[in-house]
Structure 1
Amino acid sequence: MISKLLDPQSVALVGASPKPGTVGYVILENLVTRFRGAVYPVNPKYDEVELWGRKLKFYKSVSEIDATVDVVVVATPAPTVPSIVEEAGRRGIPAAVVISSGFAEAGNQELEQRLASAARQYGVRLLGPNCIGVYNAFSNFDTLFLPLDRAGRPPPGPLALISQSGAVAAAIMDWAARRGIGLGLVVNYGNKADVTEVELIEHFAADDRIRVITIYLEGFKYRGEAAKFLNAVRKTVPKKPVVVYKAGRGRAAQRAVRSHTAAMAGTYEMYKGLFSQAGALEASSVREMFDMAKALATQPIPRGPRALVVSDSGGMAIQAVDALEALGLEVPEVPESIARELKRELLPFAAVSNPIDVTGSATDQHYKVVLDALLPTAFFDMALVITLMQVPGLTKNLAEYIIDSRRYGKPIAVVNFGGSELVQRFEEVLEDSGIPVYPTPERAAKALWALYKYGEIRRRL
């Protein structure tokens, strides 16, 4: 019944409130104003309330709702939660999202055990407690208690995020929304009294809307969870990539993990080995995780490690070569026969050995000449294209030339840096057409490395 947690058609909100500024108010507003399914507010203090231009009927309990309910969202004080979940189970509701905190993470293990026991007894699949729950951009099922003006909601897209931290999940969503990154499904599981990241990985592996699974992980609660995680990821990776950022690497950070989500941090070396065995790509930061995911969701897998670098800045080209080679990718020289052709087409002072420096006097056509001459050949497996649009000879048409190069079936990552309207529009056109853009050569190189590494992992598994 994981699907009822993530893709419900109807929801009951226990703890719904007409009082602005409360958790129950924000979640109710999310659901009533944007969710495409049916919403049933539950709070015994109210009968009918006018909110957001409509009259809302409040129910005294979930037992009073005379309609099918797929999921109950609970936002009430912790001591009341087990009985609410038990009532939902007797009512036949198959899933529950428990927003409430004050369970094992606060030292109340017995209360959490009672909650988990009630869910098991009635077959209710439980997400949480101590979580922000689910954001589904496809249906606008949104249990976040953070107002839209403070935490943006990203558009539908091919990325899924599984996060052990609610605040991190919300911050990532806000960051993705500001950049137009398509984050279709986000799940924060909190204390994972029932549903774990393993089941979520398995669910997303089978979801055709999702191309890349990203995971923010702090730690496992029990030793046996590591083996289950390994098996789930290994089964998933041949179908789609899994990118993980592990927080809580040092000793002090591990203490924070235990108090945050009642998780066992474990040694970082253990997790690093686990990710390698499972075939997950490990990121060193949240930003790097999404740099990789963006490329993995949009670009083909390269056949080999050989990168073409083309740039209108010699300095940026050198940085790109350093970054690529530091990651184990290759930057081979252009064959002499093709180099002679390029010399005839490019400016006399252009460098044509790889990196190819079309210089600050370049035009859009110079990039097109390089890409059309080299990407179709067997000498290069991918391209890192640096386009500093401050150069006077470049126009918005360059984006179309780069997009057209997709026909060669090789991954492309673009580096573009600046704040002018032309720069921003240039990036938007590329990103909208599925070409990932990064502000530095190092980040673009890591994205290309992720594509190559995933190809290696998939062949191995």
Structure 2
Amino acid sequence: MISKLFDPQSVALVGASTKQGSVGYVILENLVTRFKGVVYPVNPKYDEVELWGRRIKFYKSILEIDAPIDAVVIATPAPTVPKILEEAGLKGVPVAIVVSSGFAEAGNVELENWTKAVAKQYGIRVLGPNCIGVYNAYTNFDTIFLPADRAGRPPPGPLALISQSGAVAAAIMDWAARRKIGLGLMVNYGNKIDITEVELLEAFAADDRIKVITLYIEGFKYPGEASRFLESVRKIVPKKPVVVYKAGRGRAAQRAVKSHTAAMAGTYEMYHGLFQQAGVIEASSVREMFDMAKALAYQPIPRGKRVLVVTDSGGMGIQAVDALEALGLEVPEVPESIANELKRELLPFAAVSNPIDVTGSATDEHYKIVLDTLLPTAFFDMALVVTLMQVPGLTKNLAEYIINSKKYGKPLVVVNFGGSELVQKFEDILEDNGIPVYPTPERAAKALWALYKYAEVKRKI
């Protein structure tokens, strides 16, 4: 039944509006102009209106719709929600997304409990209230009430996001859209009077479109949720990685969590221990969560933690080694016999010990020589490649050599820094072919650490 939450064929929008800028207007525009299914706007104020170049029929209530409805989106004042859910129950609607706010997060616990009771009486699964709902990039089912010109919609892709905060979810979507990160599914669950992050995790784990699940969490709400989370996620992570960012770590932040989504923040140490037991990969920021998720979605998991560093900048190479070693990864020296071979092929002043510095006089072919010589060997499990394209001997053809290195079956990430058209084109080619690109060695190193961490988790669980 919960699958109707992400992939409905027909949707009723209660609170649909013709008033520009209103919540009901934005959601209606999303659904009417892009959604691939059938939309039934519900608002007793209207009969038929002209919007977006088409005639749109409005219904007085859900009960007036003479067709099956997979999901109802409710965007009306909080006190009206229980009655609307009752009508949805009489209609046989299996899933409701309650966008409306003004429940327990605003002190109206009794109203929230009443809403929950009505939904339970009629067997309706409820997402929310106080949420922005669902975004499905594959079908354009989109209940986000923020205009697309302000909050971008990312393209389809292998990442899924579950977020306790609606504003954070929207900001992540906008950020992902600007960077062309494939965020296929997003759900914000708000006050979670019914559907929880555990059920959402299990649904995404069973979805073949999704390779990595990301989770932004502020705190569990009910007793027993932590144990259910642990039990569920331990079954998921051997199949798919789960990357979590827990907000609300300090005492003041925990107060904010309680007022935001009526959740119990708990101590950060408790959550940290829970994540370690569950086998999730923990991020320290939203950006880091997606840096790691991007690598996990497109790169193979490594056999070990030995990293080859190739760079055309000695300084960047040193930074990369510092970052890798700080994370517990290894940067072993190149064996002498292979180092001698590289000396014959590279420029006389190139450094061949690891990091391998092909220098600012490098050409595309120098990178190819290093990668083709060392990646097939058993001495390295992963590679971090720094490509400062300001070097005159490099061209966008270098991307082809790096992409071809995928044949060795080892994780590879690239550090590419700059703002020129060449830099951007080079980065786009790599990303389009599944090679994650990062602007700093530290971020690239953390991505490789996530791959190694997930390999360790799979071995243990």
Structures share fold, TM-score greater than 0.5: yes
Tell me, what secondary structure is at the counterpart of 2:407?
helix
Counterparts of 1:207 and 1:24, CA distance in 2: 30
Q: 1:33 deviation in Å?
A: 0.1
Counterparts of 2:397 and 2:252, CA distance in 1: 51
Q: 1:232 deviation in Å?
A: 1.3
Q: What corresponds to 1:400 in structure 2?
A: 400
Q: 1:223 deviation in Å?
A: 2.8
Quick one: which amino acid aligns to residue 150 of structure 2? R
TM-score scaled by structure 1? 1.00
Q: What corresponds to 1:59 in structure 2?
A: 59
Counterparts of 1:55 and 1:206, CA distance in 2: 39
Q: What corresponds to 2:192 in structure 1?
A: 192
- Out of 217-226 and 413-422, give the one that drifted further: 217-226
Q: What corresponds to 1:331 in structure 2?
A: 331
Tell me, what secondary structure is at the counterpart of 2:384?
strand
Quick one: which amino acid aligns to residue 39 of structure 2? V
State the Cα deviation string for residues 13-50 of structure 1 (Å, max 9, x = none).
00000111111000000000000000000000100001
Q: How does 1:296-335 map to 2 (within 5 A)?
A: 296-335=296-335
Q: 1:80 deviation in Å?
A: 0.2
Counterparts of 1:223 and 1:269, CA distance in 2: 17
State the Cα deviation string for residues 121-154 of structure 1 (Å, max 9, x = none).
1110000000000000000000000001100000
Q: 1:286 deviation in Å?
A: 0.1
Counterparts of 1:32 and 1:381, CA distance in 2: 49
Counterparts of 2:331 and 2:22, CA distance in 1: 56
- 1:157 paired with 2:157, answer yes
- 1:209 paired with 2:209, answer yes
- 1:129 paired with 2:149, answer no
Quick one: which amino acid aligns to residue 31 of structure 1? L
Tell me, what secondary structure is at the counterpart of 1:31?
helix
Q: What corresponds to 2:42 in structure 1?
A: 42
- 1:227 paired with 2:216, answer no
Quick one: which amino acid aligns to residue 287 of structure 1? R
Q: What corresponds to 1:70 in structure 2?
A: 70
Quick one: which amino acid aligns to residue 154 of structure 1? P
Counterparts of 1:428 and 1:68, CA distance in 2: 44
State the Cα deviation string for residues 236-267 of structure 1 (Å, max 9, x = none).
00000000000000000000000000000000
Counterparts of 1:138 and 1:276, CA distance in 2: 33
Q: What corresponds to 2:272 in structure 1?
A: 272
Q: What corresponds to 2:364 in structure 1?
A: 364
Quick one: which amino acid aligns to residue 182 of structure 1? G
Quick one: which amino acid aligns to residue 301 of structure 1? I
Quick one: which amino acid aligns to residue 151 of structure 2? A
Q: 1:231 deviation in Å?
A: 1.0
Counterparts of 1:430 and 1:127, CA distance in 2: 38
- 1:448 paired with 2:448, answer yes
Counterparts of 1:344 and 1:311, CA distance in 2: 18
Quick one: which amino acid aligns to residue 122 of structure 1? Y
Q: What corresponds to 2:103 in structure 1?
A: 103
CA RMSD of aligned residues (A): 0.4
Tell me, what secondary structure is at the counterpart of 1:156?
coil
- 1:4 paired with 2:4, answer yes
Tell me, what secondary structure is at the counterpart of 2:265?
coil
State the Cα deviation string for residues 396-435 of structure 1 (Å, max 9, x = none).
0000000000000000000000000000000000000000
Quick one: which amino acid aligns to residue 142 of structure 1? D
Counterparts of 2:370 and 2:254, CA distance in 1: 50
Q: What corresponds to 1:23 in structure 2?
A: 23
Quick one: which amino acid aligns to residue 161 of structure 1? L
Quick one: which amino acid aligns to residue 282 of structure 1? E
Tell me, what secondary structure is at the counterpart of 2:214?
strand
State the Cα deviation string for residues 161-187 of structure 1 (Å, max 9, x = none).
000000000000000000000000000
TM-score scaled by structure 2? 1.00
Q: What corresponds to 1:417 in structure 2?
A: 417
Q: What corresponds to 2:353 in structure 1?
A: 353
Q: What corresponds to 1:433 in structure 2?
A: 433
Tell me, what secondary structure is at the counterpart of 2:24?
helix
Counterparts of 2:285 and 2:66, CA distance in 1: 47
Counterparts of 1:393 and 1:223, CA distance in 2: 61
Quick one: which amino acid aligns to residue 368 of structure 1? K
State the Cα deviation string for residues 345-380 of structure 1 (Å, max 9, x = none).
000000000000000000000000000000000000
Equivalent residues, number? 461
Tell me, what secondary structure is at the counterpart of 1:21?
coil
Tell me, what secondary structure is at the counterpart of 2:445?
helix
Q: 1:222 deviation in Å?
A: 1.8
Quick one: which amino acid aligns to residue 438 of structure 1? Y
State the Cα deviation string for residues 41-78 of structure 1 (Å, max 9, x = none).
00001000010011000000000000111000000000
State the Cα deviation string for residues 316-358 of structure 1 (Å, max 9, x = none).
0000000000100000000111111100000000000000000
Quick one: which amino acid aligns to residue 312 of structure 1? D
Counterparts of 1:302 and 1:174, CA distance in 2: 31
Tell me, what secondary structure is at the counterpart of 2:49?
strand
Counterparts of 1:130 and 1:77, CA distance in 2: 11
Tell me, what secondary structure is at the counterpart of 1:264?
coil
Tell me, what secondary structure is at the counterpart of 1:339?
helix
Q: 1:298 deviation in Å?
A: 0.2
